[in-house]
Amino acid sequence: MVKIGSAYAVTNKRVILKTGVISRRAVDLVLAKCEGLHIKQSVLGRIFGFGTITVTTGGVTSSYPFIADPLAFRREINTQIG
């Protein structure tokens, strides 16, 4: 994890994304409704192993910057989806 106060988890049914220390933003995404997952990494992101993940579910798009090892995160989501 790169950001302080952030937690990201993938279970067999959901993707849980929580960010913030003082104000909290939490999203619980059902894997079955996950339509798209986009990863963006800058040159520094590739060197230091972080990036931005954009998730689309039901026409709603949410972006989460500074995710540690975003390719592993996407791989875990794809593994759980099947």
Answer for the pair 58, 33: CB distance below 8 angstroms, yes or no: yes
Residue 3 is predicted with a pLDDT of: 59
Rounded mean pLDDT, 58-81: 83
Mean pLDDT of the chain, nearest integer: 82
Distances, alpha carbon 34 to alpha carbons 21, 42, 46, 72, 78, in Å = 26, 24, 25, 17, 10
Residue 1 is predicted with a pLDDT of: 40
Q: What is the value of pTM for the model shown?
A: 0.70
Q: What tens digit of pLDDT does each residue of 8-40 get?
A: 888 888 888 887 778 877 777 787 777 888 899
CATH code linked to domain 7-81: 2.30.29
CA–CA distance, 38 with 35 (Å, rounded to integer): 10
